[in-house]
Amino acid sequence: MKHYFPNVFFVLLIAFCSGCGNSNKSEKPGRQKENFDFDWRFSRGDFPEASQPNFDDSEWEEIDVPHDWAILDEFSPDNPTGRPGGFSSGGVGWYRKTFFLGEEAAESKISIEFGGVYENSEVWINGHYLGLRPYGYISFNYDLTPYLNANGNNIIAVRVDNSQQPSARWYTGCGINRHVWLVKTNKLHVARHGVFVTTPHVTSESAQVAIRTTIKNDWEHDEPFQLVQELYTSSNELVGKSEVTAQVDPGKDTTFDQKLTLFEPDLWSPDDPTLYTLKTLLRQKDSPMDELHTPVGIRYFEFSPDNGFSLNGERMKMKGVNIHADLGALGTALNNRVLERRLEILKDMGCNAIRTAHYPHSEELMEMCDRMGFMVMDEAFDEWLESWPFGGIKPPKGKAKYGYHLHFDEWAEKDLTELIRRDRNHPSVILWSVGNEIPDACFEIGTERLKKLMGVVREEDPTRPITAGITHMHLANESGFASQLDVTGYNGGGGSAFMYEADKETYPDRIFLATEVPHSFQTRGVYRTQSWYRGQNPLGGIMKVPNLTEEEVFTDVPKHYSSSYDNAMVRIGARDSWRRTRDLPYMAGEFRWTGFDYLGESLMGWPARFWNYGIIDMAGFPKDTYFFYKSQWTDAPMVHILPHWNWLGKEGVEIPVVAYSNGESVELFLNGKSLGEKEMDDKMDLVWLVPYEPGVLVAKGKRNGEVVSEMEVVTAGSPAKIQLLADRQAIKADRQNVVHVEVNILDNNNHFVPNASNRIQFKIDGEASIIAVDNGDPLNEESFDNLSRKVFNGKCLVIVKSNGKPGKFTLTAEAEGLEEAEITVLTR
């Protein structure tokens, strides 16, 4: 049995998504979409009167959104979020914004779009209550039209309540943490999420493009109009057109179907993410009434029980990672460029897929995945109603005490519908996931709930398969839950034992996807030679990873830090997990946990605000495991060796040196002397035990006997200077664009000092401000807006944001005993 999904292509982007770059306004004939992020007022606490227009907010803080008030609060072991929330705060907060509308507003439909508000948001306009949205990760809108003051001031007020804790199993942040937009249209217009584009038939020779458009008429009369669809290439060449004349009854909406045929289409893929543009034009009496631009990606894919996954007819593995929505030092306050940089780092590693763990992420992420070439497993929920049925005692419902189970019955179908309608046109979205490790899967009632949610998905988008990430697979098999899914997602191999092979025998028609594995730990620049497993030795026939040495070489590592040798894990490490996914032909792919370190889920407790799951640290610096994946997921020649070579005091001690490479062999040298060449064959890594002596360690990767890649690690001297590296030399002066400045400690010979811990003081002059400083250290307790920071193992990161004025800014870094450094960036 094969499952063939001819695909949707891409988005309602210009219409309503909040991720169309950082431009402040998008104007098309009959439609205006205004960035509504700027000039809000905010205060912590509860102020019931703040919903009314005459409330005095003059003493409140002036802010822009996206905004997360918890990230700059004090993290404390006494905070009620506890380990799950990274010891962050919660509470209630209010936002207010005053805005002016001209006379033309009287003839327009005006709505407000929120990309997400965490959580339990309530909204008022000019004192009129608009509604409640409990789920903090879902986008939503309100029609403001009936309550607006045309040609006058208007006040919008938002109450946010994240006071009941814990509300999730990770750091959630608090506030209006995604973009806000004000949308103005004519009264005859394309409805919200009103363009749905699919490609029912796709080959390399042609593609049929099906467009379903919903037109809404808010006039008290009806007149004929023309609905025109035009498809353009990236070079603005018109390649398809369809036009119909129709009309819609007053106060109603009507859906229209149109088709185009495209010959020799350029297909969308991770390696070549080609996008077309669909222009939807609404005209009446030769006057433009509405216009939307929908980026379109054309592709087809197949899941097979025997052959895994293929895209555009080519078999491939999903080489994926799970990511949470927090952006490290910014918390959950979305910044487009910070998110984009993270995706760039993953792309360079060879990653081609993202799982949105474990809730709806921003539409900006979807737009970037479309443009940059990532396939997406788009996930809706982390919990439904039940708790885990263990220990003989039925626990309270849900997974978090004040989690989504409190809202599931009333809101789950509404939230799922909103997610699908928002994202169903994105070519990056390959799978819908209706849940992660849902305890309901253990019960027959859970299978009934699954059927209802799958029915919602099928109604809104019949073109994609449905999955869920499952642990305790043996119970999900017994209940029928796992077999109900189109694609069965295995978290941690399915539970306490890896169940791929056994389940394949029992369920030969099942489609297998490793949705969350491996769970390995690593702290950047930290090493232990003794292997460590969380809670137990690995089960299910997985060979235990041996210790690299008989006795621990590195004995002074704090317990909150994890080894970068891929020998600290739950059940299985990165190498063994990927080998299984790669070699089992029926495995569609793997999403490792996680791409980046994320706030919350502090396994070892205070003072760690997070744990070390990521292959990239919270500041965006790759750990050694990153290069393991690069060696497996990319073709460009590379070699990477670990650990660093600053081990003074360990002269003569055998230190394991590990090499990752996509070459055929690697030769290792110490101080010019060859320590031997080793063949990769089918190995995931190569290991030498090297008696330590200071100097230069060099690895040379070879193909066909020729050196094609090289890496050098040098024993550095004492810290002497600061290096500043900006990811961009100029940014847009728009109050949203940022520059990431990497800070490195060097010795007098400009060698990186891998164990440096100097405290650096930062200052900035010019048209920008420092919004965050981070070093990736799980034990760092300092506030992220503190302008002083110790580097962690030689590095830290400064994020600088434009203040909206063109010019330039200069960042200066100073430290006691070190040569200071500065860097200048243009804003324009």
* Interval 645-670: pLDDT, tens: 999 999 999 999 999 999 999 999 99
Mean pLDDT of all residues in 561-583? 92
Distance CA 295, CA 476 (A): 39
CB-based burial label for 58 (10 Å; 0-12, 13-18, 19+): exposed
Instruction: Give the dihedral sign, CA 447/309/378/69.
Output: positive
Widest pairwise Cα distance in the chain:
90
* Residue 584 clears pLDDT 70, i.e. is over it: yes
Summarised one tens digit per residue, pLDDT across range 176-224 is: 999 999 999 999 999 999 999 999 999 999 999 999 999 999 999 999 9
pLDDT at 546: 80
Answer yes or no: 516 catalytic: yes
| Average pLDDT of the segment spanning 475-482 | 96
Residue of 387, 329, 324 lying closest to 359 (CA atoms): 324
Instruction: Tell me what percent of the residues of the chain surpass a pLDDT of 70.
Output: 94
User: Average of pLDDT values for 769-794?
Assistant: 96
- Whether residue 175 contacts residue 121, with contact meaning beta carbons closer than 8 Å, is answered with no
In this structure, the number of other CB atoms found within 10 A of the CB of residue 243 comes to 12
pLDDT of 13 strictly over 50: no
The predicted structure's pLDDT at residue 16: 29
Q: Minimum mean pLDDT among 147-156, 531-540, 808-817: which range?
A: 531-540
Confidence of residue 395 (pLDDT cuts 50, 70, 90): low
Q: Is the pLDDT of residue 426 over 50?
A: yes
**Mean pLDDT of all residues in the chain?**
93
pLDDT tens sequence across 134-180 = 999 999 999 999 999 988 899 999 999 999 999 999 999 999 999 99
- In the set 119, 363, 437, 601, the catalytic residue is 437
- 3-class DSSP string for 752-795: ECCCCCCEEEEEEEECEEEEEEECCCCCCCCCCCCCEEECECCE
**What's the pLDDT at 394?**
58
Q: What is the DSSP letter of 48?
A: G
Q: Are 676 and 688 in contact (CB under 8 A)?
A: yes
Tell me if 401 sits within 8 A of 80, measured CB to CB.
no
User: Where is pLDDT greater, at 2 or 23?
Assistant: 23
Q: How far is CA 246 from the centre of its chain?
A: 41
What mean pLDDT do residues 363-389 have?
96
Whether 340 is a known active-site residue: answer no
Alpha-helical (H) ranges within 293-441 are 336-349, 363-372, 408-423
φ, ψ for residue 45 (rounded to 5)? 105, 175
Residues with Cβ within 8 Å of 288's Cβ and at least 6 positions away in sequence, in order, are 29, 30, 281, 282
- Annotated active-site residue in 516, 590, 601, 767: 516
User: Are the C-beta atoms of residues 108 and 183 closer than 8 Å to each other?
Assistant: no
What is the pLDDT at residue 544? 62
Of all helices (H) and strands (E), which one includes residue 459? helix 444-460
* pLDDT computed for residue 1 by the predictor: 34
The residue assigned the tokens 């039209």 is 145
User: Considering the chain, what percentage of its residues have pLDDT values greater than 90?
Assistant: 88
397: pLDDT strictly greater than 90: no
Residues in CB range of 328: below 8 A, 6 or more apart: 596, 597, 598, 599, 618, 619, 620, 772, 774
Confidence label for 534 from pLDDT (cuts 50, 70 and 90) = low
Q: What is the pLDDT of residue 510?
A: 98
Mean pLDDT, to the nearest integer, of 20-42?
78
Range name among 15-24, 292-301, 349-358, 579-588 with the lowest pLDDT average: 15-24
- Rounded Cα distance between 799 and 336, Å, is 13
> Tens digit of pLDDT for each residue in 726-751?
999 999 999 999 999 999 999 999 99
State the average pLDDT over residues 311-334.
Answer: 98
pLDDT bracket for residue 104 (50, 70, 90): confident
User: Has residue 7 got a pLDDT over 50?
Assistant: no
Please give the model's pTM, rounded to 2 decimal places. Answer: 0.95
